[in-house]
Amino acid sequence: MQAKNPTACLLVIGNEVLSGRTQDANIRFLALELGKLGIPLREVRIIPDIAETIIGTVNEVRAKFDYVFTTGGIGPTHDDITSECIAAAFGVPWEPHPVAFPRMEASYKPGDFNAARQRMATMPRGAELIECAISAAPGFQMGNVYVMAGVPRVMQSMFEWLGPRLQGGARIESRAVYAIGLAEGVIAAGLEAVQKRFPDLDIGSYPFYRPTGNGVALVAKGPDAAAAEQAIAEVTALISSLGKVPIQGEPPEV
C-alpha cells in the first residue's frame, strides 16, 4: 500500500470477545468499509474492560495511527468504561455532553433517565457526537479517536453516519484469481517474482479447503486498480504454466 493513504487502528474493547463468549463481527465490517474509503486498517487490538489497559492503549495507538476506532464499552452498565477512559487518556473532564445529555433526557419518560443511562450521555469535554439512527445514545469523536458501540447493528448505524465524513485516500482495490488443485509450495517462487515486480501491491496467497475441492487463492491489493489487474494477469499466466486452470475472482464461500 502507498504512504499517502491514512492509516487506521481498531480497538475492540470487551471481555466478552477475549473470553470467547462473543464472536466478533465488527472487525471484518470495519476492515471492508475502511478499505473502500482508502483508510487501510493496519492493526486491531482486542483488550479487556480494564481502565489502565484502555487508557494506555488509546494513548499509544492515537499517536501511531491517523485514525483510531473503538467498539464496545459505551453502554450503561458498570463494565462500560470506555468513555471515561477516553477522557482520562486525553486528560479532560468527563461530564454531561451539552447536546447529548438534554436530548437523551427528553427521549425517556420522566424518571426513567436514571444514573446508569446518564452515563451514556456523559463524555469527555470537547467530544463531537457520532450520530446513530437506531439508538438514542450516540458515539463520539475526540481528536483522531472515534468511539462507537459494540453491538454490531448499532456500530454499523454509527459508521453509516460517520464514514462519509472521514477524510480517506485512494480506495484499496482488490483483484483475485484461484485454482483448484494448486499447491502453495508450487506457485511460491513465481508468485514472489510477481510481488517483486509490483512492490506497491500486497500480493497474498490463501489456501482453501472446501468440499468442492482444495486450492489456493491469490489476491492483489492496492490503490492502483490497473496494477492489481496486471499483477493478477501475470499470476493467471503463472497458474496456467503450472498446468492448473485459473478462475478469476475469489473462490465462492461455501
- In this complex, which beta carbon is closest to its own copies, that of residue 97 or of residue 117? 117
Smallest distance, Å, CB 62 to its own copies?
16
Of the candidates 16, 21, 18, 42, the residue with the CA atom closest to the CA atom of residue 31: 42
d(CA 54, CA 93): 17
Cell of 32: 471492508
Query: Contact, 130 vs 100, CB < 8 A?
Result: no
Q: CB of residue 126 vs its own copies: minimum separation in angstroms?
A: 25
> Concatenated DSSP letters for 102-170?
HHHHHHS-TTTS-HHHHHTTEEETTPEEE--TT-SS-EEEETTEEEE-SSHHHHHHHHHHHGGGS---S
C-alpha grid cell for residue 137?
Answer: 445514545
Q: How far is the CB of 120 from its own copies (least distance, A)?
A: 8
Closest to 229 measured CA to CA, from 196, 253, 194, 182: 194
Q: What is the binding site for its own copies (CB under 8 A)?
A: 12, 14-24, 27-32, 35, 40-49, 53, 75-79, 112, 114-117, 120, 151, 153, 172, 174, 184-189, 191-192, 195, 202-207, 209, 219, 221, 250
Shortest Cβ 245–its own copies spacing (Å): 20
Nearer to its own copies, 130 or 175 (CB): 175
Q: How far is the CB of 103 from its own copies (least distance, A)?
A: 15
> Considering beta carbons, is residue 126 or 190 the nearer one to its own copies?
190
* Beta carbon of residue 210, minimum distance to its own copies (angstroms, whole number): 11
**Residue 96 vs 126, nearer CB to its own copies:** 96
Residue (125 or 210) nearer to its own copies, CB? 210
**Number of alpha carbons in the 13 Å side-chain half-sphere of residue 19:** 7
- Nearer Cβ to its own copies (214/240): 214
The Cα-based distances of 15 to 9, 79, 140 in angstroms read 19, 9, 22
> What amino acid occupies position 245?
V
